[in-house]
Structure 1
């Protein structure tokens, strides 16, 4: 490639010298010189400075680079993959659906069937939590497993207390079941059958003892359960988590901490229902929505749609319990299971009628016999439903305990094999 030559004629004077000087000044030493015709030199005069600027290396801005890395890191930390978000949203939706189903339950509030449904919801939420953990791909060796263990320990201890209360109802049922046979013996084997005076007197005393036994047992059960709750129940474990969602860092562990946060606040009231129904009435049972409005406001900040479902369930329970207290249905404390309260009320009503008969001389007539006979059938019915209902709640809780043990083992093995 030929180098650009200066014009040979010296008589061109200043114009030729100026062009030669311009060409030598503009051409950078690192660029090869290209043979160009003389008319192209003015164009080269304007293009070469631009070419020189294009060839200069561009130095990156360190602060801009750091900002990009920080934004990328923040996005990776706080954002969940679409699959994780879908799984968590499905969990929240299922939780809200289960709470709404309990709120719309056709069974009486705190009946055995209602409590069994609450226990079944606990099992379902725990099972869904285990499936969610497998989809989140949580890293082993971190504190998310400890937080799961703490939450299941809380559920375990509260449900063990509820199971102990339900098991204690069997002795009451055994005592209450003897009332109806004693009443029939008095009606048809004592004064009602024309038996001797001594036999009638013995039948009256036997019925009085049969009526008194479950009433005394209910009082003793109330005292024992209160002592049991004081010894084994931490009231703080059933309170709504009042920590701010921002303070709690709900996005930690791919959102798993937020799921535990929601699970705790949803199941706390379910545990209150179970313990109040089988052991003793807890103060939070009759607290309406206004009493927990502050907690619900904080929970809404976490984006959980289950909060409104919890509020509706609380409102239903509070209204029915207030009606129970106003109606004198034994809502002032003690075991709140519906069948238990109905059995107690039936036995108390029988005692009042029987005391009236004894005060009138213990005479028998068809009207009194029919009325007391109907009461005996009512007592038998409530006692039978109480016994079978308590057994159903116990069976549901026993299955829940087995699932907690299996879930703990599964997650521990999952972490050890990763």
Structure 2
């Protein structure tokens, strides 16, 4: 094949065959196709799009570009979840222990974050001694023994995604449903789980801004999973305000532990339990949705979910004492109160701006080379629909470096729209795609 012919074919609206897609993926990974030609193909895909069959073929070619994980030696059903990302979205650290406490096995490979806060691995890094770099045999053993393990993705897992994503990021081809779906699902399929529940975020703090776009992405990923013979389901959940109260790595671990300890409930807890119930139902662990939800509630209320998290922390070298005493987690040097400049109902929250305020404090990475400060971030004291008085506390900033504190404060205040009337209440879960 001549790759320029394939670029022209796609540019002109043609459908690429499975062999042609595999030629593209393998050729780029192995260095036979240069960046400029791969970028041309990505742009052709962005404009002309891919149909369902092409999207699945691209996903499978990317999955097969490196190692795949064999978890067949682990007894029981292996489950996984994935979130498309948002602000204060700490569901993995709640949902995974809950379903593991119910008997599912959760073998999860996560990544590090690029943006307002770190990824799940960065959050776990804040637990003293915890290691996300675990040999594969040890990983399998921990899953079999504890029911849950979360580690970093190996460099040999889906190398095509790492290469193609980096190219997409620099060529304006990120926002294409087929390319997003293939990126996410190639990693999920390579990780070896039997069932996968996807949490597709929708709103001003999410990549997908509208319900229609989020549902399109959800349907595309579910279709890929089903074609691969997996049980896959997707929820479309709201991200028009931070999901939890904590924005920042160590702070988000604190909040997850507080939810698992039963200290409070809220939107983060509700979405986490909904995801857990869907995972249990999809994995045939419960007869119906009500029974699945009750199983999840029992695991949380009894303390078994928190015990499961503690067992995983111990197995991966961490100090499980954090589950009983969150003060063992690293803390920022100072706390700064942020107060409201006027009175009114919080009618809107520009969620992405809250994330950017946390990034300015050092909680995230603007580039891959940046170093995250695991201790800093924002703890929200008010949420959408709350009434606040002038001078009332809106949030507490956890701060080490004050260089960008005022900029962060300004962005945070500017993210809140106050008015005389409360906003219309939005659902947390907009759709279930199965």
Normalised by the length of structure 2, the TM-score is 0.24
Structure in which a larger fraction of residues adopt strand? 2
Structure in which a larger fraction of residues adopt helix? 1
Q: Which has the larger radius of gyration?
A: 1
Structure with the larger RCO, 1 or 2 (CA within 8 Å, 6+ apart)? 1
Normalised by the length of structure 1, the TM-score is 0.25
